[in-house]
Amino acid sequence: MSEGNTLADLEKVTQEFAQAEAERQYLMEFRKSKKAILMAEAERSEHSMPIAKQERYAYSHPEYLELLEGLKVAIEKAVLLRHKIQVMNMRFEQWRSKQATLRQEMSIR
């Protein structure tokens, strides 16, 4: 394992994770806006529509459901990258430990 290569890989995956996490956060917040937009759309179609009916319309709208699918993908990607970073860190620590053991063995000889 080359330390320089590992650090470059970790840096790349960390950047990917940051982008995935930003996308996840954006979609979480946009979900609220999308609901409000769809509720307003429902109210325009029926002026005195009750809030509960507006919410039902928004939550069942194909655009809202599509947004939820995108959020699902974004969460999955962010979690996968977070775990990939953890595995890379564990591998690096394992390599470091082996190097320390080798150095200690060399000093004993």
Nearest to 20 by CA among 56, 57, 28: 28
CA 57 from chain centre, in angstroms, equals: 28
Instruction: Say if CB 77 and CB 18 are below 8 A apart.
Output: no
User: Is pTM beyond 0.95 here?
Assistant: no
> Amino acid letter at 33?
S
Domain that holds residue 91: 3-108
Q: Which residue has the tokens 């655009």?
A: 63
Residues contacting residue 75 through CB under 8 Å, at least 6 positions apart: 24
- List average pLDDT for each run of 10 residues in the chain, which is 109 residues long: 72 95 97 97 93 96 98 96 94 90 86
In total, how many domains does the chain have? 1
